[in-house]
Amino acid sequence: MSKKSKPSFNPQIAANKKAFHDYFIEEKIEAGISLEGWEVKSIRAGKAQMKEAYVTFKNGEAFLFGAHIAPLMSASTHVHPDPIRTRKLLLHKHEIDRLMGSMDRKGYTIVPLAMYWKKGMVKVEIGLAKGKKDHDKRATIKEREWNIEKQRVLKGSV
């Protein structure tokens, strides 16, 4: 008897790797996102990206700007999809208040880090971030290269 192998499921939909390069991430928060039906279908097909996305606050609510969800070619004819429309983030009021207070301090911003599946729902991981200077970015790259070289040396000596 052979066991049927379950297909591997990757919960991550899209990641914003550029955010980790441009910012120091101090805190991560999970938020829900309000989507339309065609957007969920496109996300299931892997047509989402968060490269230029950012989070803003308006009237005490959080919104995701710039996340691109490409519409499928098989979309209905009565739906006129906008791939970069503003999407509402679903957070508790106290979380929004805390993030807005942190954002008012000098140098802090809110950036989306990743979009993923959790219990059949699409979630967005947002981070409280502080911008990096050019010398910080160079130091990060130098440290990463040193760690790679260190692993190479250790692997060769074993």
pTM higher than the cut 0.85:
no
Contact 147, 154 (CB under 8 A): no
Q: How far apart are CA 49 and CA 38, in angstroms?
A: 15
Average pLDDT, stretch 7-12?
68
Fold of 12-132: Small Protein B; Chain: A; (2.40.280)
Note the pLDDT of residue 6.
Answer: 58
Single-letter amino acid code for the residue at 104: D
Residue pLDDT, tens place only, 19-77: 888 888 889 999 999 998 888 888 888 889 988 888 999 998 999 998 898 888 776 66
Q: Which of 112, 130, 131, 127 minimizes the C-alpha distance to 49?
A: 112
91-111 pLDDT per residue, tens: 999 999 988 888 887 778 899
Q: Give the start-to-end residue ranges of the domains of the chain.
A: 12-132
Contact 83, 72 (CB under 8 A): no
